[in-house]
Amino acid sequence: MPKSQLIQNIPNVLTLSNLVLGCVGILAAAEGQLQQASACIGLAMVADFLDGFVARLLKVQSPIGADLDSLADMVTFGVLPGILMYWLLLEAGTGEFTPYLGLVLPVGAAVRLAVFNNDPSQAHGFRGVPTPLVALVVGALPFIRADYPRFFTVPVLLVVSVSLALLMVSRLPLMALKFKSFAFRPNALKYLFLLLSAASLVLLQFLAVPLIFGLYLTLSLANRSSEG
């Protein structure tokens, strides 16, 4: 394979790494190893960030790469969180049917990704919460549950599931965490978000993830309001 083709396929290799991690996470979740499955989500998020960043850096964006990215995201950030939520509901002591309501997450992810792929207005900003961020929230839950099990009741988990699914398919204007350059001025809000997120993770560890989610929504909406 020519060197140029090898370079062009670097982002696709990263995207497929995201997919493989999602599959490994599904296998772990199917065996009830929820924290291991959540770790796969975290690693896959790194690959998901890098594939787009490297593609823009090398100027090798392609329709095939975009399609691969959505397919990988559906598995890792759609199906896997749904299985995690299924297990969390099941272990909360609910009936046979209720855990399947956790599968509202992959349904929301599928709609979100389909809309995103056909909405040119989302090239520079999102409409609705991106699937990786939802997966990050769900992936943090098994770790948070280890310290705060009393909060993981069936009603709470159902509210979380439905709320996240609705936020994915909503039309809320939210910032895209994409860096076309590292210049401070055009990326000031993103740097602020990353700084506050890093500080929260250091201080609160996994408990910081829901707070980071709320911070993302707040900063995004505040920024859009100021622009309007």
**CATH number for the domain including 59?**
1.20.120.1760
DSSP code at position 214: H
Q: Between helices 131-147 and 34-58, what is the axis angle to 10°?
A: 150
When pLDDT is cut at 50, 70 and 90, the band that residue 195 belongs to is very high
Counting DSSP H helices and E strands in the chain, the numbers are 10, 2
Q: Are strands 173-175 and 125-127 parallel, antiparallel or unpaired?
A: antiparallel
- Residue 77 reports pLDDT greater than 70: yes
What per-residue confidence (pLDDT) applies to 30?
92
In a domain, 54, yes or no: yes
In a domain, 187, yes or no: no
For the entire predicted model, the pTM comes to 0.89
In a domain, 192, yes or no: no
Residue 134's SS3 state is helix
In a domain, 110, yes or no: yes
As a whole number, the mean pLDDT across the chain is 89
Q: What's the start-to-end Cα distance of the chain, in Å?
A: 50
- Assess contact for 213 and 167: CB atoms under 8 A: no
* Domain residue limits at 95: 3-180
In a domain, 124, yes or no: yes
- State the total domains in the chain: 1
Helix (H) or strand (E) holding 201: helix 188-204
What per-residue confidence (pLDDT) applies to 122?
72
In a domain, 49, yes or no: yes
In a domain, 216, yes or no: no
